[in-house]
Amino acid sequence: MIYLERNLAILEEIQNSVELVPGQLVGESYNVRFMSAGSYYSKVLGKEVWLGLKMSNYQVPFYLSGRAPAELIALNLIAENLPNRRADLPLFYGVVTNTNDPDEPVAILTEDFSKGGINDVWAHNKPPEDLVRLFTGEHHIDVDLDKACFDIVDNVGTEVLKMGDFYPADYSGDDVLRKQWLALMDKMEDEGKYSVMIDYSLTP
């Protein structure tokens, strides 16, 4: 599980060296805000990494409790089965919890594809065929792939495809993935895996 293992290393690095401060509003839907949270130099990856926070618009922490493991399973499935798509995934993905209530995440922490608003981020409404085949073949996940991908355009006009939103996701049609999802949810809730714990408020 290359993707999951790398996630643990990067999140541990962030835990020990970065203070998360929500900044510019990068994107917003009816129930989620995506906020830029600056950048830091990652020794794990050997490069500058841009941080982003998915935060609930309605201050409903349990919504994030279900979303985080569901998306992480989908990202890991892509990383393991489509190695040519690993560069299209966020560099890391986890949750932020607070010491006052460690059982309820306050945000999802992932890569900011916009790099603090430098890059433009546009919806990519036609998912790649290999992604569609993966999610409708042997490993079935019922998810709206039309909303999963983005076109990232930098300040010189270079365009790349990225993937990031895989929720809501229904794993009821695949027993193997459903068990992985439930096991990952337990690890995140009971063991604090794939999380960064803070003792301060995430106030934009």
Ranges of each domain in the chain: 2-187
Tell me what pLDDT residue 1 has: 54
Rounded average pLDDT per 10-residue block, the chain, 204 residues: 87 94 86 91 96 81 76 92 95 92 87 95 91 87 90 92 90 87 85 88 76
CA–CA distances in Å: residue 71 to residues 81, 140, 154, 182: 16, 14, 26, 12
- What's residue 60's pLDDT? 57
CA pair distance 108, 92, nearest whole angstrom: 11
pLDDT of residue 44: 94
CB contact at 8 A, 110 and 20:
no
How buried is residue 113: exposed, middle or buried, by Cβ count under 10 Å (0-12/13-18/19+)? Answer: buried
pLDDT for res 62: 52
Amino acid sitting at position 4: L
